[in-house]
């Protein structure tokens, strides 16, 4: 019996199929099937009832799965303890985030991380969905906004401040709104993950009560990067992170509208699995991100 065979069993049970487990483990499906068969032969029991359409875990399989999870967690903890003796980040850091957070947060951080820690490598998966980082084998995720309740650790890095932006061409053609209520007459670039109609709550630093305004959705897209691209093309008005828009404003490609009115800031978190011993490679990346956000909020720079 090998640790790899136990890992294969755990991933197959958690993924629900050999094919999905093979993707997580980065193995051929035939090798996953072989590892399971060898484990079953060594233990003398059937762990999974497999058919062409579905699989189910046997009673023996559930028992072995529970023991395997405990063994693998103990091995991982032992590895982390020995890494802490070195205390030098090393190995491959696997992280995931959205495309827009990759552009604004992760991309600039990776360069500094790799330069500072030469014994590390980084693998990033940009995704429009929230990946299950435990089952899919990621060390870390960068996420924004309210987080669902889970067993994961969420470390707040900082926040993204937002503003309303449009291109100079759009403003020349349609004019700039002078009050929040005037946005109702403007075209809006809308994220398809939001409500059917965009309703923005705008805040003012000198007013206690925010203002809710509704725009006319001219275009719906499904990522923040696509929203920014549409605004740059002059298709309408949209909220953008100020750190994302800053360079385009400096180059004359975007204009901020209605300042100092602004949408609510969005908190940004580093999310990772619970562990008594956080690995040096994860801790180093989180510390670097915390420093970057701290510098941005003190006016010394952006997340980088």
Q: For 215-219, which contacts have Cβ atoms below 8 Å and span 24 or more sequence positions?
A: 215/183, 215/184, 215/186, 215/187, 215/188, 215/190, 216/184, 216/185, 216/186, 216/187, 216/188, 217/188, 217/189, 217/190, 218/187, 218/188, 218/189, 218/190, 219/187, 219/189, 219/190
User: Rounded to whole angstroms, how far apart are CA atoms 70 and 72?
Assistant: 6
- Sorting pLDDT into bands at 50, 70 and 90, what band is 215? confident
18 or 251, which is more confident:
251
User: Rounded to whole angstroms, how far apart are CA atoms 200 and 264?
Assistant: 9
Report domain extents, the chain. 3-84, 87-158+266-297, 162-263
User: Rounded to whole angstroms, how far apart are CA atoms 231 and 236?
Assistant: 6
Answer whether CATH 3.40.190.290 is correct for domain 162-263: yes
Q: What is the largest CA-CA distance in the chain?
A: 76
Torsion of CA 147, 153, 158, 163, to 10 degrees: -20
- The pLDDT tens digits for 143-152 are 888 787 678 8
- At residue 53, the pLDDT reads 66
- Sorting pLDDT into bands at 50, 70 and 90, what band is 204? very high
- The pLDDT tens digits for 260-286 are 999 999 899 999 988 756 788 999 999
Q: At the fourth CATH level, which superfamily is domain 87-158+266-297?
A: Periplasmic binding protein-like II (3.40.190.10)
215 or 138, which is more confident:
138
Q: What average pLDDT does range 97-112 have in this prediction?
A: 83
CATH architecture of 3-84: Orthogonal Bundle (1.10)
Q: Could you give the angle at the alpha carbon of 61 between the alpha carbons of 58 and 62, nearest 5°? A: 95
Which region among 12-26, 155-169, 239-253 has the lowest average model confidence (pLDDT)? 12-26
What are φ and ψ of residue 282, in 5° steps? -75, -45
Beta carbons of 296 and 244 less than 8 angstroms apart: no
DSSP states of 25-41 = HT--HHHHHHHHHHHHH
Give the chain's mean pLDDT.
85
Are the folds of 87-158+266-297 and 162-263 the same?
yes
């Amino acid at each position: 019996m090998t640790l790899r065979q136990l890992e294969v069993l755990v991933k197959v049970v958690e993924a629900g199929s050999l094919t999905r487990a093979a993707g997580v483990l980065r193995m051929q499906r035939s090798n996953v099937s072989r590892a399971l068969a060898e484990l079953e032969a060594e233990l003398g029991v059937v762990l999974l009832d497999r058919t062409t359409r579905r699989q189910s875990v046997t009673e023996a399989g559930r028992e072995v799965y529970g023991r395997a999870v405990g063994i693998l967690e103990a091995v991982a903890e032992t590895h982390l303890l020995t890494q802490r003796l070195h205390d030098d980040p090393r190995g491959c850091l696997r992280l995931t985030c959205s495309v827009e957070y990759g552009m604004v947060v992760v991309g600039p951080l990776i360069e500094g991380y790799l330069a500072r820690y030469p014994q590390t490598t980084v693998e990033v998966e940009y995704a429009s969905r929230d990946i299950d980082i435990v089952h899919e084998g990621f060390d870390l995720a960068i996420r924004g906004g309210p987080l669902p309740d889970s067993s994961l650790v969420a470390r707040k890095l900082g926040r993204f401040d937002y503003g309303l932006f449009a291109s100079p061409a759009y403003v020349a053609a349609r004019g700039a709104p002078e009050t929040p209520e005037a946005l109702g007459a403007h075209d809006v670039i809308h994220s398809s993950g939001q409500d059917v109609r965009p309703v923005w709550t705008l805040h003012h630093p000198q007013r206690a009560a925010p203002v809710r305004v509704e725009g006319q959705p001219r275009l719906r897209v499904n990522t923040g990067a696509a929203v920014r691209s549409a605004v740059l093309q002059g298709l309408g008005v949209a909220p953008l992170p100020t750190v994302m828009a800053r360079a385009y404003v400096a180059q004359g490609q975007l204009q901020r509208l209605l300042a100092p009115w602004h949408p609510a800031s969005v908190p940004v978190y580093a999310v990772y699995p619970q562990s008594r011993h956080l690995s040096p490679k994860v801790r180093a990346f989180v510390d670097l991100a915390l420093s970057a956000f701290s510098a941005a909020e003190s006016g010394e720079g952006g997340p980088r």
